[in-house]
Structure 1
Amino acid sequence: MTTLTVTSKGQVTLKKELLQHLGVKPGQKIEVDPMPGGQLAVRAVRQEGGWEDVFGILAGETDKVATIEEMNEAIAKGWAGLK
């Protein structure tokens, strides 16, 4: 069990190993829910999104243009566990 100290402003800093356990990195968020008996439930906020959010993410990062055949070959190799 880890003991944390509350500051005069009512703030608590989570230790590095607790943040690692939650899988939280700087700039990410956590949720805290009050529970019965004076307890809190803490969990990492998971980002939600769909395919639309990743379209174009690599645009302008390379000059190479892959053909459909090259993409299909890369996909097949990936599924087969090949590089």
Structure 2
Amino acid sequence: MSTTLTVKGQVTIPKQIRDALNLQPGSLVDFAVNRDGEVVLHKAPQNNKRKLDRFEAARGKADVAWRTQDLMALLRGCT
């Protein structure tokens, strides 16, 4: 299975590998080189104490179901 290295040194991990390691967006990964010079990818332990940024902390917290027209009226000052 091959992939192309970008000018920034980035590669896309193929879907079969992401599925096999249960990698999700934001997952931590570890790279190692074994004695044969092969690169080995491991799913890293997730640090549950990672500080959420202000947007992640607020995500999913809204408890008001706004209708679009009501929200737009509020934001525009047209009450």
The question of whether the paired residues in 1 share the 8 Å contact of 2:29 and 2:42 is answered with: yes
User: CA 1:11/1:48 → structure 2, altered by over 3 Å: closer, same or farther?
Assistant: closer
Identical aligned pairs, as a percentage? 27
TM-score relative to the length of structure 2: 0.51
Q: Distance in 2 between matches of 1:36 and 1:5?
A: 24
Specify which structure has the higher proportion of helix.
1
Q: Distance in 1 between matches of 2:30 and 2:23?
A: 11
1:77: which partner in 2? none
Matches within 5 A, 1:1-83: 2-47=1-46
Find runs of 4+ consecutive structure 1 residues off by over 3 angstroms: none
User: CA offsets per residue over residues 16-73 of structure 1, 9 Å max, x none?
Assistant: 2211111111111110012223211111012367xxxxxxxxxxxxxxxxxxxxxxxx
Question: Which runs of 5 or more structure 2 residues have no equivalent in the other structure?
Answer: 49-79
Aligned-partner SS, 2:12: coil
Aligned-partner SS, 1:43: strand
RMSD (CA atoms): 1.8
Q: Distance in 2 between matches of 1:11 and 1:48?
A: 23
User: CA 1:12/1:48 → structure 2, altered by over 3 Å: closer, same or farther?
Assistant: closer
Question: Which runs of 5 or more structure 1 residues have no equivalent in the other structure?
Answer: 50-83
What letter matches 1:33 in structure 2? A
